[in-house]
Amino acid sequence: MKNAISRTLLLACMLFLVPTSFALTLQEAKSEGLVGELRNGYVGLVVESAPAEVVALARDVNNQRRELYQQIARQNGISVEQVGALAFEKAVEATPAGQYLQDASSSWIKK
């Protein structure tokens, strides 16, 4: 079952790489150090004073992830929190050096 969830999450992560209607993509915002991966499977603002465009991008990505996590949780009989935790594990593997992740103490660290 974990393999099926992992494959679904991998596909979902690939979808998040597709540019949205925002001028700034998620990958660009990550590369610029504006957002990073939170331990709960969502993205968060690394820079609290990020431009409104980045705040909107993070909100949109998190809304999409929430919907997807709910669907995966229902299909696999697990909690949304478990799906988010698995998504974070995948995000850690996929995050290139120089981008931000949340550590166990909820601080931002550069990979």
Helix axes 2-16, 80-94, angle to 10 degrees: 60
In this predicted model, what pLDDT tens digit does every residue of 39-91 receive, in sequence order?
A: 999 999 999 999 999 999 999 999 999 999 999 999 999 999 999 999 999 99
Q: Could you tell me if 97 and 111 are in contact, meaning their C-beta atoms sit under 8 angstroms apart?
A: yes
pLDDT at 97 over 70: yes
Q: Whose CA is closest to 48, among 39, 58, 40, 62?
A: 58
List the chain domain ranges.
Answer: 2-110
When the pLDDT of each residue in the chain is averaged and rounded to a whole number, the result is 89
pLDDT at site 20: 46
pTM of the model: 0.80
Band the pLDDT of 13: cuts 50, 70, 90: low
CA 43 – CA 102 distance, rounded (Å): 9
Q: What is the 3-class SS of 75-89, one letter each residue? A: HHCCCHHHHHHHHHH
Q: Could you tell me if 57 and 29 are in contact, meaning their C-beta atoms sit under 8 angstroms apart?
A: yes
